[in-house]
Amino acid sequence: MTQAAVRVRGLAKRYGEVRAVDGIDLDVHEGEVFAVLGPNGAGKSTTVEILEGYRSRDGGEVSVLGVDPGHATRAWRDRIGIVLQTAGDTAELTVRETVRHFAGYYRDPRDPDEVIAKVGLVDKAGSRLRKLSGGQRRRVDVALGVIGRPELLFLDEPTTGFDPEARRQFWDLIRDLAREGTTIMLTTHYLDEAEALAGRVAVISAGRIVAEGDPATLGGRAAADATVSWHENGERRRVATATPTRTVLELTRRFDGEVPELTVTRPTLEDVYLGLIARPSADPERTTR
Query: So what's the pLDDT on residue 265?
Result: 85
pLDDT bin (cut points 50, 70, 90) of residue 86 is low
Q: What is the mean pLDDT of residues 66-84?
A: 91
Q: What is the pLDDT of residues 89-132, one digit of tens each?
A: 677 899 999 999 999 988 889 999 999 988 889 999 999 999 99
User: Residue 284 burial by CB count (10 A; 0-12/13-18/19+): exposed, middle or buried?
Assistant: buried
**Cα–Cα distances in angstroms (integers) from residue 39 to residues 42, 83, 224, 249, 271, in the given order:** 6, 20, 23, 41, 14
Which of 23, 17, 7 is closest to 57 using CA atoms? 23
pTM passes above 0.85: no
Of all residues in the chain, the percent with pLDDT exceeding 90 is: 52
